[in-house]
């Protein structure tokens, strides 16, 4: 078994940062009317800028595969050429197509000029960590001497007004309660585009910051809780999901089957509590002392959860001081599967890390409440 190190990190954020006031310029007005929910959601999520792979007319400027490839290209240098890549492992919530796989499309964009092993992790926020874990285990087992792992999203294409206009008309006709419209519009003001990438190798680099991966743990609570965030289906009264494939095609648009939705009541009830429970399980499993953690990077979808997460961790005996927490949500937005990659890239390249320090990564996934965490040691 080999030790595994993150020896380089890179990110790609498309175009210029988009302010709160500019969001509807890029995404468009639903039925030509400004959103009534936007200001409330933005006030709670504390996001001030984000990035879209769109121009101001709402036209796409990059595919998800292109965003991912551009982040990965930032890993290449005189010590690691693209031809040296052995494994490509990528994760996303928002692939450009159902088939072929996202990894296949990224491999094609990179123009490596050779066949390599590829892996695609799908799902929600944890798909990036699943991709990282695949690379970690491959290098650790000696199957590959290096791996490139990435997390990415291009959610803006799901959020343009044309995707909501028909739904808004239906809501008017049905005189549905405003809370239903809020649920379906909620994520429109939360999500951002971008990609982050790590190079994993079986030895650290000299004269640069490398991070040894001590472990990556995963926890799912789907055996206890119904789905909270979902797309390509609809949620029935009993909490079960009905697949898009079980609806007539003319219902896909009428019932917004492919729109991404979130049950905010379930989100508030479980997201923090189960996050603290899963992290406590990892600390017990690995006999970790919370006081020995130097940096805490927790992916959160909204600034609304920031204080609550700290409090829930403290209730479980993991009271990390405020100065140990690192966030960049307000500047880059919620990039889902790419968020933890992009946060760690910023910290890793900031010059703040010191040899021997411990870095904790925490990633929640509200789809049906799954969590991951990882411990890194600065070399």
CB 119 within 8 A of CB 89: yes
pTM for the full predicted model: 0.95
Nearest-angstrom CA–CA distance, 215 and 282 = 10
CB 233 within 8 A of CB 193: no
CB 379 within 8 A of CB 212: yes
Q: How far apart are the first and last CA of the chain?
A: 19
- Report the relative pairing of strands 18-19 and 49-50 from DSSP bridges: antiparallel
Give pLDDT, residue 169.
Answer: 52
Q: Give tens-digit pLDDT for 103-123.
A: 999 999 999 999 999 999 999
- In angstroms, what is the C-alpha Rg of the chain? 20
Confidence of residue 167 (pLDDT cuts 50, 70, 90): low
Nearest-angstrom CA–CA distance, 200 and 81 = 13
As a whole number of angstroms, the longest Cα–Cα distance in the chain is 65
Closest CA to 301 of 185, 200, 192, 184: 192
Give pLDDT, residue 255.
Answer: 81
Res. 6: pLDDT tops 50: yes
Res. 303: pLDDT tops 90: no
Q: Distance between alpha carbon 115 and the CA centroid of its chain, in Å?
A: 28
Q: Give tens-digit pLDDT for 40-50.
A: 899 989 999 99
Nearest-angstrom CA–CA distance, 71 and 102 = 14
3-state secondary structure of 217: strand
Alpha helical stretches, state H, 10-163: 23-27, 38-45, 64-73, 102-110, 126-140
Res. 172: pLDDT tops 60: no
Res. 178: pLDDT tops 60: no
């Amino acid at each position: 078994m080999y030790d595994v190190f993150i020896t380089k990190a890179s990110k790609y954020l498309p175009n210029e940062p988009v302010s709160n006031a500019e969001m509807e310029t890029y995404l468009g007005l639903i039925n030509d009317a400004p959103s009534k929910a936007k200001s409330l959601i933005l006030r709670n999520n504390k996001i001030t800028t984000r990035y879209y792979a769109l121009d101001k007319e709402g036209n796409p400027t990059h595919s998800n595969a292109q965003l991912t490839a551009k982040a990965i290209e930032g890993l290449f240098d005189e010590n690691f050429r693209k031809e040296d890549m052995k494994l490509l492992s990528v994760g996303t919530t928002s692939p450009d197509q159902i088939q072929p796989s996202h990894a296949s499309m990224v491999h094609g964009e990179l123009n490596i000029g050779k066949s390599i092993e590829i892996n695609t992790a799908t799902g929600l926020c944890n798909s990036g960590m699943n991709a990282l874990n695949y690379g970690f285990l491959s290098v650790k087992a000696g199957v590959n001497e290096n791996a490139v792992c990435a997390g990415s999203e291009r959610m803006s294409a799901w959020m343009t007004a044309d995707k909501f206009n028909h739904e808004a008309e239906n809501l008017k006709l049905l005189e549905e309660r405003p809370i239903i419209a809020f649920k379906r519009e909620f994520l429109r003001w939360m999500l951002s585009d971008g990609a982050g990438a790590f190079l994993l190798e079986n030895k650290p680099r000299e004269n640069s910051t490398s991070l040894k991966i001590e472990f990556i743990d995963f926890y799912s609570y789907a055996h206890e809780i119904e789905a909270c965030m979902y797309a390509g289906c609809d949620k029935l009264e009993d909490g079960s999901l009905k697949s898009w494939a079980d609806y007539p095609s003319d219902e896909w648009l009428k019932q917004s089957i492919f729109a991404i939705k979130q049950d905010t009541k379930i989100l508030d009830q479980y997201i923090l509590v189960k996050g603290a429970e899963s992290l406590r399980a990892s600390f017990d499993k690995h006999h970790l002392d919370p006081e020995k953690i130097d940096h805490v990077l927790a992916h959160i979808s909204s600034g609304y959860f920031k204080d609550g997460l700290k409090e829930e961790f403290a209730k479980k005996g993991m009271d990390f001081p405020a100065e140990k927490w690192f966030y960049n949500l307000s500047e880059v937005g919620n990039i889902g599967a790419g968020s933890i990659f992009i946060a760690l890239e910023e910290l890793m390249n900031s010059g703040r890390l010191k040899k021997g320090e411990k870095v904790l990564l925490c990633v929640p996934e509200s789809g049906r409440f799954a969590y991951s965490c990882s411990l890194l040691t600065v070399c």
